Each structure stands twice: as structure tokens, then as C-alpha cells.
């Protein structure tokens, strides 16, 4: 085999389909988010980021930065080992206590990322529990899919957010067979929200465990930022709540919160927990500061929801189609990979606006989109600039508008 030409040919295929991934090389500016410098073109230039998962700007929050500086000065750079061998620091233990409290669970267990926490926790639970059947929502994140696959447990995929389909699959199984229902609260690409209470009812009826990924909800929803399950008073009904420290909490890391024994079980058997160096203490301290701040402060969550509503209203006024969902994620539907990438390129080049195109395989072909994530630190002027740029490009690309458009 000619390896070199195989790689080159596959990559040029991706480019022809418009599905080749190009990274934007940014330099975030401390205290100036959503502003950043783009190093992409011939010259460095300022851009406004409209697609960050640092949903609340907590990656710039003085409490978070202060805690990280302090821990760096106290403890130095790295943790120095795996959690098992010298890597468990006081900051890791404090953060786990903060997370267990956030979700009203006995324990929490920290991982190096949300991806790793899903992969390791699902892989271990489904792999170790004898004859476990995993019922996985069709739109679950890649990290859950990989964890379930890694477990080698039997898996059935239920139609996205479809309770009837889930119940049909549950009802076919013996009541005493171990079952794990894996799903998300806010789905990241469509921004829709799972019927968590109904899923918990089915889990009770058919004797199943529940595993909820709240990655796009922690920090953002609920009176203390515990997520959709907190907002709906359901945290105690879920077997496992999983979250990230890298999105609304603005740092990096992932975790599960559950009973003490379940966390201890995963701690004891998960290869992806045991055999990897622990997060730096400064990261754990920064994440703990962020979680702690958002437990009491509503200002960020309120401003976030205001900005989301403002952007939606402005898009509606221009008839630019976006998914009507009950969350903070605004998917503006383009429906063509080439136009989606083109709009993104021109937004960056001519308008200083950065929105990454979301193409296949992240979303199904024909549903290519621009995923806009307003934050409390986007100003009214930022919103004006964004919406007017989108309006111009919508015309230029001859994309359809909704009839409600004023023009």
C-alpha cells in the first residue's frame, strides 16, 4: 500500500465534500472575552468569538484566575502522578466535595476531561455489571458511544428523546436484567432538552439505572448551577450525573457524581481513571472556585438567558431560521456544508466574527449549521454586528428566510 497517497486522497475527499476541519488559531485575551486575536490570516486581527462553550465567561472570572494563581504559587505546576500514585492533592479532594454537594450526591469522582469521564464511567459500569444492557439515546455524544462500545456490553439505541421507543425496549427485557439508560439533558447540537422525569419514571418501572450527561447544563441551569436535573428537582432520582469543568465552569476536567459506592467502584476499576496523571492542582482549584461562585451568583445565568433571547429575537426579525429550542444554544440552519463553511470564512475575514461551521459527521448531512452561543459578556453592539453580518451573508448566499421576516 502507498500509505502517503492514501492519506492525501482521503483528505482531499473531505475537502471536496466541504467536510474538512480547519481550526481557527486564536489567542484569548485575559479579561476581554469574547474578544480574541486571530492568528489565522496573513495578519493578526481582533475577532469576537460567538461559538465558545465558555458559556458564562467564567474562564476569565477573577475568582477563578485568583484561585489558579494561588494554587500555582502554593503547589507548582503538575500533580506529579496518577491519583493512585502521589497525584491526589488536597485541591482534588476539595473539588470532589464541591461537586458532590452541587448535585446532592454522596460522592463525586474527577477525571481529566468530560470525554474521559463518560468513556471511563460508562465503560466500567456497563462492562463490569454482569449481563448489563445499555439503552443509549440516538444522539448521545461520541464520548458516551465510545465508552459503551468499549464496555462490550449489549447496547440498544432508542430514538432520540422518544419515551415510547425507550419503553418498548425496556419492556422486552426481564425485569431483573441489569439495565443502564444513558442520555443527556441539553443536547449540544440541537439544544433540545430530554424529558428527564419521564425517563426516571421508566427507569423505576423497569428497574434500570440512569446515567445523565449534563455537560451543556452544569453551571447554567438550576438555582445553584446543578443543571437541568437540579432545576426540575430530579437530581436524587438519577443514578449518575456526569458533567464537565471545561464549558460553563470555564476550566477543564470532567466528573461523575453518584453514591459513594458507585464512585468508589469506578475509582477502583476504571482504567481511564487509574492510569493517567491527575489534573494539575491549579486546575482543580480554579474549577472549585468557579463551581463555588456559580452556586450563589445568579447574575451570570440571568444575563446569559437575556442575551440568548435578544439574539433569537433579532434573528427572527430578519427571518433567519434557527432551531426553536428551550436552551441557550442557537443553531442557525444553513443546510449545505459548502455555504456553511463559506459563511463562517467570510464572517471571520470581513466581519471579525468567529463562528465555527458545524458540518457532517458532527451533525447529519443536510443539517449543516452555525451554532451560536451568546454569553453574558456579549454586548448589545456585538449582537447588532453579528445579526447584520448574518443578514448580509444570508442574502449573498441566497438562503431562504422565514415568512415572519420584516423584509
Ligand X SMILES: *Cc1c(COP(=O)(O)O)cnc(C)c1O
- Residues annotated as part of the active site: 247
Specify whether the CB–CB gap between 68 and 77 falls below 8 A: no
Three-state secondary structure call for residue 114: helix
- Cα 126 from Cα 157, distance rounded (Å): 15
Specify whether the CB–CB gap between 260 and 103 falls below 8 A: no
- Cα 49 from Cα 353, distance rounded (Å): 6
- Percentages helix, strand, coil for the chain (3-state, rounded to 5) are 45, 15, 40
Q: Which residue is nearest to ligand X (CB)?
A: 114
Cβ-based nearer residue to ligand X, 111 or 394:
111
Least separation in angstroms between CB 131 and ligand X: 26
Cβ-based nearer residue to ligand X, 115 or 394:
115
Binding characters for ligand X, 48-67, by CB under 6 A (x = yes): --------------------
Tell me: does residue 136 bind ligand X (CB under 6 A).
Answer: no
Least separation in angstroms between CB 249 and ligand X: 10
Binding characters for ligand X, 87-126, by CB under 6 A (x = yes): --------------------------xxx--x--------
Cβ-based nearer residue to ligand X, 114 or 123:
114
Specify whether the CB–CB gap between 120 and 272 falls below 8 A: yes
> Three cell numbers at 87?
497525584
- Cα 117 from Cα 104, distance rounded (Å): 19
- Cα 29 from Cα 37, distance rounded (Å): 7
Give, as ranges, the residues between 170 and 229 that touch ligand X (CB under 6 A): 184, 188, 213, 215-216
Specify whether the CB–CB gap between 331 and 50 falls below 8 A: no
Least separation in angstroms between CB 176 and ligand X: 31
Least separation in angstroms between CB 101 and ligand X: 20
Cβ-based nearer residue to ligand X, 102 or 390:
102
Cβ-based nearer residue to ligand X, 318 or 370:
370
Q: Which of 219, 254, 281, 357 binds ligand X (CB under 6 A)?
A: 254
Report the residue count for the chain: 407
Least separation in angstroms between CB 148 and ligand X: 13
**Number of residues this chain uses to bind ligand X (CB under 6 A):** 14
Least separation in angstroms between CB 133 and ligand X: 22
- Cα 153 from Cα 93, distance rounded (Å): 32
Specify whether the CB–CB gap between 341 and 360 falls below 8 A: no
Q: Which of 60, 143, 210, 344 binds ligand X (CB under 6 A)?
A: 143
> Three cell numbers at 36?
480574541
Q: Which of 360, 391, 392, 358 is nearest to 372 (CA)?
A: 358
- Cα 160 from Cα 209, distance rounded (Å): 18
Cβ-based nearer residue to ligand X, 245 or 320:
245
> Three cell numbers at 317?
426579525
83, 85, 258, 393 from 267: Cα distances, Å: 10, 13, 12, 50
> Burial, 298: exposed, middle or buried (Cβ in 10 Å; 0-12, 13-18, 19+)?
exposed
Least separation in angstroms between CB 215 and ligand X: 4
Element (H, E) at 164: helix 163-171
Q: What are phi and psi of 330, to 5 degrees?
A: -115, 95
Q: Which of 48, 244, 327, 356 binds ligand X (CB under 6 A)?
A: 244
> Three cell numbers at 68?
489558579
Three-state secondary structure call for residue 204: helix
Least separation in angstroms between CB 53 and ligand X: 7
Cβ-based nearer residue to ligand X, 188 or 210:
188
Cβ-based nearer residue to ligand X, 132 or 215:
215
Residues that bind ligand X (CB under 6 A): 113-115, 118, 141, 143, 184, 188, 213, 215-216, 244, 246, 254
Amino acid at each position: 500500500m502507498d500509505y502517503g497517497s492514501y492519506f492525501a486522497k482521503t483528505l482531499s475527499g473531505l475537502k471536496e465534500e466541504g467536510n474538512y476541519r480547519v481550526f481557527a488559531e486564536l489567542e484569548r485575551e485575559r479579561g476581554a472575552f469574547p474578544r480574541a486575536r486571530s492568528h489565522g490570516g496573513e495578519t493578526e486581527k481582533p475577532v469576537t468569538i460567538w461559538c465558545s462553550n465558555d458559556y458564562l465567561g467564567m474562564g476569565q472570572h477573577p475568582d477563578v484566575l485568583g484561585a489558579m494563581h494561588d494554587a500555582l504559587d502554593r503547589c507548582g505546576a503538575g500533580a506529579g502522578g496518577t491519583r493512585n500514585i502521589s497525584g491526589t492533592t488536597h485541591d482534588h479532594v476539595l473539588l470532589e466535595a464541591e461537586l458532590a454537594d452541587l448535585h446532592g450526591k454522596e460522592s463525586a469522582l474527577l477525571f481529566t476531561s468530560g470525554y474521559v469521564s463518560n468513556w471511563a464511567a460508562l465503560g466500567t459500569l456497563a462492562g463490569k455489571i454482569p449481563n448489563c444492557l445499555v439503552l443509549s439515546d440516538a444522539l448521545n455524544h461520541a464520548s458516551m458511544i465510545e465508552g459503551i462500545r468499549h464496555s462490550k456490553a449489549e447496547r440498544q439505541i432508542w430514538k432520540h428523546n422518544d419515551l415510547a421507543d425507550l419503553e418498548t425496549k425496556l419492556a422486552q427485557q426481564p425485569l431483573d436484567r441489569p439495565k443502564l439508560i444513558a442520555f443527556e439533558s441539553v443536547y449540544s447540537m440541537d439544544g433540545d432538552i430530554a424529558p428527564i422525569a419521564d425517563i426516571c419514571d421508566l427507569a423505576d418501572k423497569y428497574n434500570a439505572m440512569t446515567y445523565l450527561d449534563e455537560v451543556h447544563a452544569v453551571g447554567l441551569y438550576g438555582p445553584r448551577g446543578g443543571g437541568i436535573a437540579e432545576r426540575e428537582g430530579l437530581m436524587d432520582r438519577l443514578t449518575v450525573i456526569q458533567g464537565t469543568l471545561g464549558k460553563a465552569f470555564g476550566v477543564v476536567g470532567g466528573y461523575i457524581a453518584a453514591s459513594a459506592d458507585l464512585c468508589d467502584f469506578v475509582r477502583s476499576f476504571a482504567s481511564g481513571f487509574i492510569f493517567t496523571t491527575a489534573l494539575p492542582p491549579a486546575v482543580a482549584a480554579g474549577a472549585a472556585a468557579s463551581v463555588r461562585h456559580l452556586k450563589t451568583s445568579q447574575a451570570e445565568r440571568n444575563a446569559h438567558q437575556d442575551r440568548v433571547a435578544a439574539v433569537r429575537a433579532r434573528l427572527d426579525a430578519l427571518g433567519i431560521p434557527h432551531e426553536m429550542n428551550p436552551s441557550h444554544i442557537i443553531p442557525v440552519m444553513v443546510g449545505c456544508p459548502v455555504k456553511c463553511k463559506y459563511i463562517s470564512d467570510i464572517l471571520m475575514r470581513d466581519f471579525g466574527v468567529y463562528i465555527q461551521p458545524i458540518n457532517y459527521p458532527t451533525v447529519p448531512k443536510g443539517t449543516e449549521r452555525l451554532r451560536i452561543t451568546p454569553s453574558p459578556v456579549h454586548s448589545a453592539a456585538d449582537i447588532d454586528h453579528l445579526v447584520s453580518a448574518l443578514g448580509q451573508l444570508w442574502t449573498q448566499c441566497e438562503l431562504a428566510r422565514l415568512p415572519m421576516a420584516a423584509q
